[in-house]
Amino acid sequence: MSRRLSLRNRQRTCAVDLRSLRRMCLYLLRDVLQRGAFDLGICLVNEKEITRLNEEFLAHKGSTDVITFDYAESGSAGAMRGEIFVCVDEAVRQAKRFHATWQSELVRYIVHGVLHLLGYEDVRLDDRRKMKREEDRLLRRVADAFSLASLAKTCGKGF
């Protein structure tokens, strides 16, 4: 498997610089996590689409921040293969709640999805704490290497 990263933007809440986001994601995967092989799709979606995915595939009611689908075959040593759907509307909402930027929330959700693909779980409290610590560490690494503000072209609704 090669190193393939596909980014798609299917939302209009915020105009995201996909070239900057690609550089950040590749840095995370290749340099920080040192992944030799990956086939990853990242799709930025709106609240309506994430709600549909959440209800249809996970049988959960309502919206969420990120949904990860792991397509790696069992026994495929170290190869990461999957899709991460990120809700930009939720990133904007949570950024306000946590006094952060929507750009940092967006990258946090991608990191969270990647951690799921690496086998991290967040159902049990102790697993959630472990995952959160690693999420914070990886987000800091990306934020130290890049200006997360560079992701913003524009963001509507006063964000």
The CATH number given to whatever domain includes residue 39 is 3.40.390.30
Token pair listed for 102: 């929507």
Q: Let me know if residue 156 belongs to a domain.
A: no
What is the chain's percent helix, strand, coil content, to nearest 5?
50, 25, 30
Q: Is residue 56 part of a domain?
A: yes
Residue 12 domain flag:
yes
In order along its 159 residues, the chain shows pLDDT tens digits of 588 999 999 999 999 999 999 999 999 999 999 998 999 999 999 999 999 999 999 999 999 999 999 999 876 666 899 999 999 999 999 999 999 999 999 999 999 999 999 999 999 999 999 999 999 999 999 999 999 999 987 676 544
Residue 79 is assigned to a structural domain of this protein: yes
Alpha helices by DSSP H, 5-67:
18-26, 47-58
Is residue 155 in a domain? no
pTM, to two decimals? 0.94
Residue 154 counted as domain residue: no
Does residue 105 belong to any structural domain of this protein?
Answer: yes
82 contacts: CB under 8 Å, gap ≥ 6:
39, 40, 41, 68, 69, 70, 71, 72, 113, 117
| 159 part of a folded domain | no
The count of structural domains within the chain is: 1
Domain span at 44? 3-147
